[in-house]
Amino acid sequence: MIHIVGGGMVGASLATALARQGRDVQLFERQPFVDSDPGDARVSALNSATLDWLSAQGIHPNTHPFQYMHVFAQHASAELRWGEATVPLGALVVNNHLQGVALQAAERAGVQVRFGDRLSWSDGLILNDQAVESELCIAADGARSQMRQQAGLALKPRDTGQNATFLRVQVEPTRVDTAGQVFLATGPLAFLPVAQDQAVLVWSRDIQAEPLSQSPQDVADLAAAAFEHRYGAFQAIGPATQVPLFDGHAQQYHRNGLVLVGDAAHQIHPLAGQGVNLGLADAASLAEAIQRRGATRSACAQYARQRYWANEGTRQAMRALQRVFGQQSGANNALLGLGLQVFSKSKILRLASQYLASGRYIRVH
């Protein structure tokens, strides 16, 4: 039996993949799944490689594709644009919805989904105060993973010095084919279309910056102005929620029959929307390693070798972007503007970055 602790997007998707291999899988989640309300602003951008892998596992969430991506900086003269009308760059999905669809797929595949059990780790899985035999235990229990901590797999989170504010807004239907991001002096602001007339704003701001208004509509109006009204007016839907931002990376992914995936292994700044793609890439890699080598230490080692440096490279890239766009000196703004101009005029660079963001590595002609 393979045990997976954590039935979120990554854990439930991985459970489905393993069950479809014919393996016995138990999936543990704290509480039964509950649908989110229409104003849910916790969303993820899925690249094409992630979407293909989910589809191969029989997981088909409702998504909103976008064709274009537009990035500019408040203090730089150039702008970046990606995309073409015929090929989606990616798709947005509500996190809670993807979790629900993945849990349904897991149950269809034969996964035993359990809620409310007491779980811990002490040289093995402890289930409701009883030690249980496990071929492999997979910790998919999030950034504050208790399983990781109890197994002694160190991860020291780094405070990014920023909070993220999430707000769902109603927008003009003509604006929802383009995702956007503007780099402001206090941090990046993202526009993520999630429906035919709705988008989610994700505003990462320095903690020392002046707090945003408590009024969701005030936040929406300020965001529209920050985007220079390129996406029209925003009408707030539901409350604005705020969370602190951290990043971190476990130095070991596995030990003594326990292996980490997703946020239990790594966290990154959300400015490029790569977090869930990395987590689901972990799930795909571990499922493939188990299919080839069984639920063994060798499979865990293969998975760790494949994913550690990919995750670390993305994490460091996000940190570098945060530093570069966060510095607002005159010299830095001039260099940033020059760099954006060079990038925007190079078809090769734009296509290369587009395909890398898609989760694929292909030759650019």
What DSSP letter does each residue of 51-116 carry, written as one string? Answer: HHHHHHTT-----EEE-EEEEEETT-S-EEEEEBTTB--EEEEEHHHHHHHHHHHHHHTT-EEEES
Q: What is the CATH number of the domain that holds 321?
A: 3.50.50.60
The 3 state secondary structure assigned to 35-61 is CCCCCCCCEEEECHHHHHHHHHCCCCC
Q: Between β-strands 79-83 and 68-73, what pairing exists: parallel, antiparallel or unpaired? A: antiparallel
pLDDT score for 296: 96
Q: What is the pTM of this model?
A: 0.88
Q: Which residues of 220-253 are buried (b: 16+ CB within 10 A; e: fewer)?
A: bbbbbebbeeebeebbbbeebeeeebbbbbbebb
pLDDT of residue 343: 44
Q: How far is it, in rounded angstroms, from Cα 22 to Cα 5?
A: 19
**17 assigned to some structural domain:** yes
Q: What is the pLDDT of residues 31-42, one digit of tens each?
A: 999 998 888 999
Residue 103 belongs to a domain: yes
- Give every residue of the chain whose pLDDT is below 70, as ranges: 75-78, 85-86, 271-273, 321-365
pLDDT in tens, 56-76: 999 999 999 988 888 887 765
Question: Phi then psi for 224, rounded to 5 degrees?
Answer: -60, -40
Please give the single-letter amino acid code of residue 360: R
The pairing of strands 266-267 and 235-249 is antiparallel
Please report the pLDDT score of residue 218 as a whole number.
97
Q: What pLDDT shows up at residue 85?
A: 64
Query: Does 24 reside within a domain?
Result: yes
Residue 279 lies in a domain: yes
Q: What is the pLDDT of residue 146?
A: 96
Tokens of 29: 């989640």
- Tokens 């954006």 belong to 340
Total domains, the chain? 1
19 is a domain residue:
yes
Residue 14, SS3 per DSSP:
helix
The amino acid present at 249, given as its one-letter code, is H
What per-residue confidence (pLDDT) applies to 361? 40
Could you tell me the residue range of the domain that residue 129 belongs to? Answer: 2-34+95-158+247-326
